[in-house]
Amino acid sequence: MDQDASAALGQLGDESAANGPGFDGAIAHLYRGEMHRMTVWRQRLDVTSNWSILLVVALTTFTLGSTAVPHFTLLLGLALIGISVMIEGRRYRHLHHSGWRLYIIEQGYYARLLDPGSASLVADWRGVLSEDLLRPRLLMSWFTGTRIRLRRNYLMVLYFVTAAWLTKLFIHPGRPSSLGEFAERLAIGELAPPWFVAASACVFVFGATGLAISCPAAEKIEKWGGAFARPDADEQPEA
């Protein structure tokens, strides 16, 4: 048997497997597995958010409850927010990727199963999904994912900690008699002068606000529509 005939038989076998009765079971298992994967990443996002909020509330209560506690303890809360949002940015990329795969399966397979006369948004949805399974790549950058999580959850938490920090400076050890006295309280011992603390806090807060406002809403990014072509990405999905 020559090579052309062998290739033709192999292609025929592949097509039979892709259209045979086993395909329905395989796509159902793939959908279920991808749904489980997305659920796991969603739970990981929720865990990070919940722990961040609990730590911020505990830190704020502890700092405002005693005059002896220094104000820069709340600056540690701002650092915790920064770390948490960076972690969530990485996790959101995986959640978004699983949601994209599920959307392909839903519109390409289940929509036509429910309504055989409906047209798929992309003719080669199987090829797109197969390519992604063979060479999986995340659909967005870590920076974009971080901005999305900052806009959706963490910006308000950041404002809360900043307001608590300013309140701490104003009420402890007592109401300042002048603006100069209030400014002097910004100092972190001999480590950082008041101007450096004020400048750093402003850069952090206003920078985070700018990143969040300039980022598209997550609802818009998750509305894929007919955009099934994957953008170029060099990173591989992490376990």
Beta bridge partners of 192: 188
Mean pLDDT computed over 36-53: 93
Model confidence over 157-210: pLDDT tens digits? Answer: 999 999 999 999 999 888 888 888 888 989 988 888 999 999 999 999 999 999
Distance, in Å, from the CA atom of 82 to the CA atom of 226, rounded to the nearest integer, reads 34
Model confidence over 149-158: pLDDT tens digits? Answer: 999 889 999 9
Q: What is the pTM of this model?
A: 0.79
CA dihedral for 142, 99, 39, 54, sign (positive or negative): positive
- Which residues, at least 6 apart from 38, have a Cβ–Cβ distance to it below 8 Å? 95, 98, 99, 102
- What is the pLDDT, as a whole number, of residue 16? 41
List the chain domain ranges.
26-221
Q: What percent of the chain has pLDDT over 70?
A: 83
